[in-house]
Amino acid sequence: MSADLESELKSAMEKLGATAREAATILARTGGSAKNDALGRAAELLRARQDDLLKANDRDMAAAAKKGLSDAMMDRLKLDPERIEAMAAGIEAIADLDDPIGGVIAEWERPNGLRVQRVRVPLGVIGIIYESRPNVTADAGALCLKSGNAVILRGGSESFHSSRAIHACLADALAAAGLPEGAIQMVPTTDRDAVGHMLKDMGQYIDVIIPRGGKNLIARVQQDARIPVMGHLEGLCHVYVDKAADLEKAKAITLNAKLRRTGICGAAETLLVDEACADTHLAPIIKELLDAGCEVRGDQAVCRTDDRVKPASEEDWSTEYLDAVISAKVVQGVEGAIDHIVHYGSSHTESIITEDAETADKFLSDIDSAILLHNASTQFADGGEFGMGAEIGIATGKLHARGPVGAEQLTSFKYVVRGDGQTRP
Amino acid sequence: MSADLESELKSAMEKLGATAREAATILARTGGSAKNDALGRAAELLRARQDDLLKANDRDMAAAAKKGLSDAMMDRLKLDPERIEAMAAGIEAIADLDDPIGGVIAEWERPNGLRVQRVRVPLGVIGIIYESRPNVTADAGALCLKSGNAVILRGGSESFHSSRAIHACLADALAAAGLPEGAIQMVPTTDRDAVGHMLKDMGQYIDVIIPRGGKNLIARVQQDARIPVMGHLEGLCHVYVDKAADLEKAKAITLNAKLRRTGICGAAETLLVDEACADTHLAPIIKELLDAGCEVRGDQAVCRTDDRVKPASEEDWSTEYLDAVISAKVVQGVEGAIDHIVHYGSSHTESIITEDAETADKFLSDIDSAILLHNASTQFADGGEFGMGAEIGIATGKLHARGPVGAEQLTSFKYVVRGDGQTRP
């Protein structure tokens, strides 16, 4: 890139940043009804402009086909009337949430009469870097607005036209509701250097970066960012079938955890079965998976249950397949399961199947993953399923937010202290 | 440094990290009574070994005098029987706090019967990089232990012997209580490259870095860290005297906010006075400050009140003096004060003096600093004063913790979900 273009991009990004910062100041003082008005209008516009959105998406799909994108990628990119309606309904669900801003999270009085309140405030400006799914534009824009934050969206180049059409609905809705259009901005270029600017040069404008995408994207963001990152790492989720497991529940949950949708981060990647119930439980569960079209890669004990099982390599225990493939292993009780998960897991989501409450408690307390389930599918790892309305992703870090990141997780707080002339002794 | 020494340091740091990680796993499963037992023993040992601590401190003080450290630095470095007793009592106060770990922060049930709990867990391993005050060794060690975290302490080279003697009390107390000594470790060298390793190479061992010290330290940490940082930036705190201020309160609070202790981050650095009360309030407050030995640097209106006032330069409005110096300015009402604070402030702590509740509410809601006070001194910006028992510092970032960072702020959470065989539709 020439020096001219480089400096042009830099100044364009700085303008985006300054505009976002200004909008954030206004949003922080904006009440819930104006934000909800804008969200309602955005949902209406998405429905009203269905044809425009489909046309823009056709352009992206045609370019993607030409580039030879995989079927899975093409499916993520695709918009249809149902998906557009789902985006609109999702925005309305976000509007229906309680306003997270301004609420008093805690309050107490000190012996000297000072009254301390912890009050919820927006984070400020959020930068979101994502890949091909155009609906992230709507979800992330709406969640940030609901939580009083300005947002700078940087979507994947594959979905550029789709995202731009969706973004136009959001921007027009903001203007119609009397809110600054700078509240939801989209980087207007597919130039990859724009991401570098967001990560390295825009610390005074962006308070937190949220990457949403595959391993490579996250790795790049964590490597280059000079701004705090709220990370969403891979989901290497486990299902552990304990000797006290109900076999029917174990079969149903394992099948659902692996196969309901294989491409999401809450999909199970490894099945662990207690050696104490291997004789009764292992073969039926493995057979169900194989019959449903799932490839199974197992240790020796698993391989013995069915000719169709392939032998697992060491690498399999740390592989997030995101596909109809599962690794499976026999372990020595809940202790063995915990050891395996602590060693190979990504601290995302794990489930134990057992009717023994004490064993369940051990699993739930000794593993430090963001989400731990008892007798339920790992695919419940989702903000909507948790009752948060929607999410930007599942945070696997331990700072600030962990698990589903919804509107409330996009806020901070400040302390308000009221006195009557107190000085400190 | 030779390549040999370099690789020796690197492997020593890695060993510290691995030991801390192992200790963190044990601490996460340790109940409150064992942690409190260790804290109680640490307090006893600090008292019992007073002579050792004073001797170690003498070595540091002698070296510091030889180096020509400033009086303020020497004062921060100094230990005496009262300060040792204060450290011991501080540790006992931390032991008396409720155990922050394992508590259920929130719980709810979903329509499908899933019961979701948000449960408090430790962060893991915390790296603390600080400067000359030896008491940070005791405070930080105790707070991290209370919150179930392992900690790697890296104090300033000036306080090396003092910190090592304090650390020995903590380590012996851990061992006596049957807890891993690796729970509280101190970097055993003053080699500056050790900090570089903590910031850049120890991401797999350290979950969060907390710097505590002056501008240069914080800047270096934020520049170099490849690990999340919980930042404690400068405290450019403001006192605004509104036209509806009670003059006596205004005088007392301003004096206390500036002069009670000038070297702490909650000390006021700038006084703003409403032009509408300049005739009645300005001169008396400025006179009090000057009479108390404070240097005042003012705008023209302030200069006119007293010959002793020096003219302020533009730089003064963004200077954290940490000394008996204050900048002072007349502003146009609460709006003018808010504009000044938003422009020049560091988002730490600000106070408004007024008897008008509506004006106070505007100030408290429109400024986004970590701590906002009404009719009280900025020197209340302190974990102990907030009722948190103790603090590692005042966070000025907006992610994770903000304001005083006590034991509860050193925790994260996980979701525990209990079901009865639920699969996701």
Q: What is the ipTM of this complex?
A: 0.89
- Where residue A154 sits, what CATH number does that domain have? 3.40.605.10
pLDDT of A389 strictly over 80: no
B27 within a domain of the structure (yes/no): yes
Are residues B316 and B198 part of one domain?
no
- Asked if residue B227 lies in contact with residue B202, where contact means CB atoms within 8 angstroms, the answer is yes
Q: A247 at the B interface (CB within 8 A)?
A: no
Residues 334-373 of B with CB under 8 A from A: 360, 364-366, 368-373
pLDDT of A30 strictly over 80: yes
- Where residue B278 sits, what CATH number does that domain have? 3.40.309.10
Alpha-carbon gap, residue A106 to B224, rounded angstroms: 35
> With an 8 Å Cβ cutoff, are A385 and B110 in contact?
yes
> With an 8 Å Cβ cutoff, are A376 and B416 in contact?
no
Q: Which of B266, B238, B236 is nearest to B384 (CA)?
A: B266
Q: Please, is A318 exposed, middle or buried when counting C-beta atoms within 10 Å of its C-beta (0-12, 13-18, 19+)? A: middle
Q: What is the pLDDT along chain B (425 residues), one digit of tens a residue?
A: 567 878 889 999 999 999 999 999 999 989 999 999 999 999 999 999 999 999 999 999 999 999 998 887 888 899 999 999 999 999 999 999 999 999 999 999 999 999 999 999 999 999 999 987 898 999 999 999 999 999 999 998 999 999 999 999 999 999 999 999 999 999 998 888 999 999 999 988 999 999 988 778 888 888 888 888 887 768 899 999 999 999 999 999 999 999 999 988 899 999 999 999 999 999 999 999 999 999 999 999 999 999 999 999 999 999 999 899 999 999 999 999 999 999 999 999 999 999 999 999 999 999 999 999 999 999 999 988 998 878 888 888 888 889 999 898 999 999 999 999 999 99
> With an 8 Å Cβ cutoff, are B421 and A376 in contact?
yes
**Tokens (6 digits) for B276:** 């509408």
Alpha-carbon gap, residue B242 to B302, rounded angstroms: 15
Are residues B242 and B228 part of one domain?
no
Please name the helix (run of DSSP H) or strand (run of DSSP E) that holds residue B408, with its range, or none.
Answer: none
Please name the helix (run of DSSP H) or strand (run of DSSP E) that holds residue A58, with its range, or none.
Answer: helix A50-67
- Asked if residue A282 lies in contact with residue A250, where contact means CB atoms within 8 angstroms, the answer is no
B48 within a domain of the structure (yes/no): yes
Are residues B323 and B219 part of one domain?
no
Are residues B92 and B9 part of one domain?
yes
B395 within a domain of the structure (yes/no): no
Are residues A29 and A160 part of one domain?
yes
Are residues A146 and A290 part of one domain?
no
Residues of A in contact with B248 (CB under 8 A): 421
Give tens-digit pLDDT for A175-211.
999 999 999 999 998 888 999 999 999 988 999 999 9
CA distance B179 to chain A (A): 17
A395 within a domain of the structure (yes/no): no
Which percentage of chain B shows pLDDT scores above 90? Answer: 78
Q: Which residue in A102, A412, A424 is closest to B402 by CB distance?
A: A412
Which percentage of chain A shows pLDDT scores above 90? Answer: 79
Q: Which residue in B123, B256, B386 is closest to A116 by CB distance?
A: B386
Q: Which residue in B246, B371, B379 is closest to A415 by CB distance?
A: B371
> With an 8 Å Cβ cutoff, are A375 and B228 in contact?
no
Q: Which residue has the tokens 């422009």?
A: B343
Are residues B342 and B311 part of one domain?
yes
Give tens-digit pLDDT for A320-348.
998 999 999 999 999 999 999 999 999 99
Number of domains in chain B: 2
**pLDDT at residue B1, rounded to an integer:** 55
Q: A117 at the B interface (CB within 8 A)?
A: no
**pLDDT at residue A215, rounded to an integer:** 77
Residues 365-424 of B with CB under 8 A from A: 365-366, 368-377, 379-380, 382, 385-387, 397-400, 402-403, 412-424
Q: Which residue in B114, B397, B398 is closest to A380 by CB distance?
A: B114
> With an 8 Å Cβ cutoff, are B398 and A417 in contact?
no
- The domain in which residue A317 lies consists of 237-385
Tell me if residue A262 falls in helix, strand or coil: coil
A100 within a domain of the structure (yes/no): yes
Are residues B267 and B212 part of one domain?
no
**Tokens (6 digits) for A121:** 């405030």
- Asked if residue B179 lies in contact with residue B35, where contact means CB atoms within 8 angstroms, the answer is yes
Please name the helix (run of DSSP H) or strand (run of DSSP E) that holds residue A150, with its range, or none.
Answer: strand A150-154
A391 within a domain of the structure (yes/no): no
CA distance B110 to chain A (A): 7
Distance (Å) of CA B271 to CA A121, B241, B255, B371: 26, 8, 10, 17
Residues of B in contact with A380 (CB under 8 A): 114, 417, 419, 422, 424
Alpha-carbon gap, residue B169 to B65, rounded angstroms: 26
Chain center to CA of B347: 14
Residues of B in contact with A413 (CB under 8 A): 402
B423 within a domain of the structure (yes/no): no
> With an 8 Å Cβ cutoff, are A424 and B228 in contact?
no
Tell me if residue A376 falls in helix, strand or coil: strand
Residues 264-303 of A with CB under 8 A from B: none
Query: Angle at CA B401, nearest 5°, toward B27 and B382?
Result: 95
Are residues B126 and B67 part of one domain?
yes
Tell me if residue A323 falls in helix, strand or coil: coil
Alpha-carbon gap, residue A76 to A133, rounded angstroms: 5
**pLDDT at residue B232, rounded to an integer:** 72
Mean pLDDT to the nearest integer, A161-173: 97
Give tens-digit pLDDT for B342-360.
999 999 999 999 999 999 9
Q: What is the pTM of this model?
A: 0.88
Residues 10-69 of B with CB under 8 A from A: 25, 28-29
- Asked if residue A369 lies in contact with residue A349, where contact means CB atoms within 8 angstroms, the answer is yes
**pLDDT at residue A186, rounded to an integer:** 96
Q: Which residue has the tokens 């392939």?
A: A310
**pLDDT at residue B49, rounded to an integer:** 98
Give tens-digit pLDDT for A111-156.
999 999 999 999 999 999 998 789 899 999 999 999 999 999 999 8
A422 within a domain of the structure (yes/no): no
Are residues B220 and B323 part of one domain?
no
**pLDDT at residue A190, rounded to an integer:** 86
Size of interface A-B (CB pairs under 8 A): 193
Mutation for B interface: A380, A409, A413, A420, most B CBs within 10 A: A380
Are residues B291 and B200 part of one domain?
no
Q: Which residue in A228, A416, A423 is closest to B372 by CB distance?
A: A416
> With an 8 Å Cβ cutoff, are B370 and A403 in contact?
no
Are residues B311 and B278 part of one domain?
yes
**pLDDT at residue A1, rounded to an integer:** 55
> With an 8 Å Cβ cutoff, are B399 and A403 in contact?
no
